[in-house]
Amino acid sequence: MATIQTTSLLLLVTILFLSSSLVLSWKKDEFRNCNQTPFCKRARSRKPGSCSLIATDVFINDGDLTAKLVSKKNNNQQQQQDQEEEEEEEVIQKPLILRLSVYQDGILRLKIDEDPSLDPPKKRFQVADVIVQEFESSKLWLQRVSTEEGEFGVSSIVFLNDNNEAVVKHDPFEVYVRKKSGERVLSLNSHGLFDFEQLRVKKEGDDWSESFRSHTDSRPYGPQSISFDVSFYGADFVYGIPERATSLALKPTRGPDVEHSEPYRLFNLDVFEYLAESPFGLYGSIPFMISHGKAQGTSGFFWLNAAEMQIDVLKSGWDAESGISLPSSQGRIDTFWMSEAGIVDAFFFVGPGPKDVVRQYTDVTGKPSMPQHFATAYHQCRWNYRDEEDVANVDSKFDEFDIPYDVLWLDIEHTDGKKYFTWDRNLFPHPEEMQNKLAAKGRHMVTIVDPHIKRDDSYFLHKEASEKGHYVKDASGRDYDGWCWPGSSSYLDMLNPEIRSWWTEKFSLQNYVGSTPSLYIWNDMNEPSVFNGPEVTMPRDAIHYGAAEHREVHNAYGYYFHMATADGLLKRGDGKDRPFVLSRAIFPGSQRYGAIWTGDNSAEWDHLRVSVPMVLTLGLTGITFSGADVGGFFGNPETELLVRWYQLGAYYPFFRGHAHHDTKRREPYLFGEKNTERMRDAIHTRYMLLPYFYTLFREANTSGVPVMRPLWMEFPSDEATYNNDEAFMVGNSLLVQGIYTEGVKHVSVYLPRGQSWYDVKTGVAFKGGVTHKLGVSEDSIPAFQKAGTIIPRKDRYRRSSTQMVNDPYTLVIALNDSLVAEGELYVDDGKSFEFEKGAYIHRRFVFSDGKLVSSNIAPPALGNKFSSDGVIERIILLGLPQGSKSALIEPENRKVDVELGPIRLRGGQSFTALTIRKPNIHVTDDWTIKIL
């Protein structure tokens, strides 16, 4: 026994040493490239026109268009081939089944799979629990299919919506969406690159194994990859397919003069200190791409598939030698999609605008969950706060320096030997008391719960999971044993609904001893990360629920873990408390279960810069509650960088400071009076804007439109915005420009055309459609309110957002040239699901004709109404000609003064804005204020 323990200890030390060396830098040779990934290498070698499939037996079945895809090649053409080629051709010639479905809002779904009547060796994996039931029930039952004969052959046409129709071209096979005018929107297999490797029964002599470095991957059913081309017509740029640290607009990966030869990789990986401007995949995978162009608007394509995916963006001219002629009257961007396994389950979105496409995608995968109000405020995290004394000291220091925060986080070191749901009782002897002290100030705590379970027979969780058979199996059928923070670990098979249900029970206050209702959860390492696995993850031949191979389900593993954890908190609160769960791994649908962060970034200016397109891309693909570690996780940021990161991070949807345990302490009160003041001011800015942010989170919850948006989402016809990812919009009203370079004194800011813009600090107006060169100081970054908008704020600062609930509101009205503006305010109880029954306040504010009108836009409540004593204590009017001295409040027939006042109550700003002080009107009421 002693020898075994010694050997295990040495192995653990070795593994931890290897993992710590990973921390030092990203090592390119530890991860596969396309040439080392057989399915990618095979797919990329295919030539345009190589697909031999044609569509036959086209008819309507159960409201869908169905067809068979068969090989055009016949037996006579095969006689010249050798035996090996004949066997390969036999596999290809098995007909595939195509099913085309139409849903409300013009959404087209294409499924292609093996024919189950031909007895394939097993059922190919289809991702469950991502598509929401509401979408499934929105299917339009097709009644007929029309046939069209043209110069390019026979096609079948079905209705999509009033403006678009779907076309299945028979020979060669192609699917595309076109407008009624004939212009194409999206197409699949226009270049004949479609390929579908069918499952096979292993024969004597077959060797399908694949090796990478020291790992060999068995393949019991042979290669099973799928690839095809997708074209976006009228597109100037394409975006999406996170997660990656690159520009917002996707750069070409193949074609004439292309510098980058690797495709964009979607394969969930634990990547330390990832590189900026690399197509390499990170912690999450969302195979959803959006195109946008001035000529034709916005469209989108989504492939629901959990296997590794590689995607090429093809530069114009890549197919110059193919001989394939596509419609020449339309510009387009071609892309090439490759996946290791799964089926084709693809969705075409026709827009026509950016918000329409995002709404359509989230109609399929679900709207973002409505976060608790506290979660939208500032979070303070470190790996790790050492003990209860450290927690108490950090908490008191924030109060001493007048810096609000809402959540304090604990990493793995708070546990007993890296065993989740436990506490190190030497360091945290009174966890309930610690949490309750924070809760008394309206604050919360988050602890970490990762998917690796320590293989320790004395650990209740491992003992129960092992006895019940709840672990993922290795290729031989034994519980998979990998290495992570605790050493030898196994991984729960979260694909199994019964295991997810079992997991939810672990979060009850009775089972999670030491937890309280104010404790929430963080899921890290859920790619899943395995230190001694291939590419620091689980082997592809591990076996999951339903005999699914890990290669088929890999990218969805963290999604299921996130789902089960959120369900656990939901059950803990008896369905009355909104969960808060942060996840690192993501997949389509993750937006329904909580927040996301961009992983282990570094304290570098480049990582500050790339955080903006990373968060914007997540928002475009449904993940609206996201942010980057403020300050950078690795390394020690210079003070100027840290300050700039707080100033930018205050506008992230998810705002958290976080740092590695090897870094110097960097709480914002540690950097001297002036820098502490700058960071405090940034955090105060976030708390001031919480009513606006919370209103935007509600908009995301109902429409899918993200909180943080690329400029072109709000200004889709302004071409100067299409490739701009240094600035961004928060909602439709605020434009923020980050500072990404050390020591700069000036910055260029493009303000979109058609509007004027007001500096949020000074109220000074700037013209739209112009790039302005502005002087900057270390005190703030440029931010502007768009003319024609109204922003709700709360200008008093408390210890936490919870203590601000009853504080009064300020309205900032930025008038356009017509002296018109409008905005909204959404308020609910900030924690329960009563808002789903109509228990909320939703007001619209409109200023026109010299009057500000407040009206209700909430439907009648289905249950108890939500009430609030909140009042508006200040109204700031930007752009109103001076001269007005008073205003009349109706229906009270009460006069109030209009006078010059500051933009913000703190900060020593001059009195430059016309202000209505203390109108003291209730946010719940209908009222009118007329400027006299």
Residue 237, φ and ψ in degrees, nearest 5: -145, 160
Q: Is 18 helix (H, G, I), strand (E, B) or coil?
A: helix
User: Catalytic: 527?
Assistant: yes
Q: What is the 3-state secondary structure (H, E, C) of 272-304?
A: CCCCCCECCCCCECCCEEEEEECCCEEEEEEEC
N-to-C CA span, the chain: 89
Q: How far apart are CA 542 and CA 121, in angstroms?
A: 18
Q: Do 442 and 406 meet the contact criterion of CB atoms below 8 Å apart?
A: yes
Q: Do 584 and 449 meet the contact criterion of CB atoms below 8 Å apart?
A: no
Q: What is the 3-state secondary structure (H, E, C) of 730-742?
A: ECCCEEEECCCCC
Amino acid letter, 610: V
Q: Which of 165, 270, 493, 527 is catalytic?
A: 527
**Cis before 806? omega within 30:** no
User: Catalytic: 897?
Assistant: no
If phi > 0 it is left, if psi is from -120 to 50 it is alpha, else beta; for residue 615 that is alpha
Q: How far apart are CA 799 and CA 381, in angstroms?
A: 17
Those residues whose C-beta lies under 8 Å from the C-beta of residue 59, and which sit 6 or more positions away, are: 65, 66, 67, 145
Helix axes 673-688, 690-703, angle to 10 degrees: 50
**Cis before 464? omega within 30:** no
The Cβ of residue 1 has, within 10 Å, a number of other Cβ atoms equal to: 5
User: Catalytic: 524?
Assistant: yes
Q: How far apart are CA 11 and CA 6, in angstroms?
A: 9
Q: Which residues pair with 446 in a beta bridge?
A: 409, 520
Q: Is 308 helix (H, G, I), strand (E, B) or coil?
A: coil
The Cβ of residue 664 has, within 10 Å, a number of other Cβ atoms equal to: 9
Angle at 623 between CA 314 and CA 359, to 5 degrees: 80
Residue 268, φ and ψ in degrees, nearest 5: -60, 120
Q: Which of 524, 681, 807, 828 is catalytic?
A: 524
Those residues whose C-beta lies under 8 Å from the C-beta of residue 20, and which sit 6 or more positions away, are: none
Q: Which of 600, 718, 726, 807 is catalytic?
A: 600
Q: Do 453 and 489 meet the contact criterion of CB atoms below 8 Å apart?
A: yes
Q: How far apart are CA 576 and CA 578, in angstroms?
A: 7
Sort strands 407-410 and 64-71 into parallel, antiparallel or unpaired: unpaired
Q: How far apart are CA 589 and CA 559, in angstroms?
A: 8
Those residues whose C-beta lies under 8 Å from the C-beta of residue 244, and which sit 6 or more positions away, are: 264, 265, 278, 279, 280, 281, 282, 614, 617
Burial 320-354 (b: 16+ CB within 10 A, else e): eeeeeeeeeebebbbbbbbbbbbbbbbbbbbbbeb
Q: How far apart are CA 373 and CA 371, in angstroms?
A: 6
Return the CA Rg of the chain. 29
Residues carrying an active site annotation: 524, 527, 600
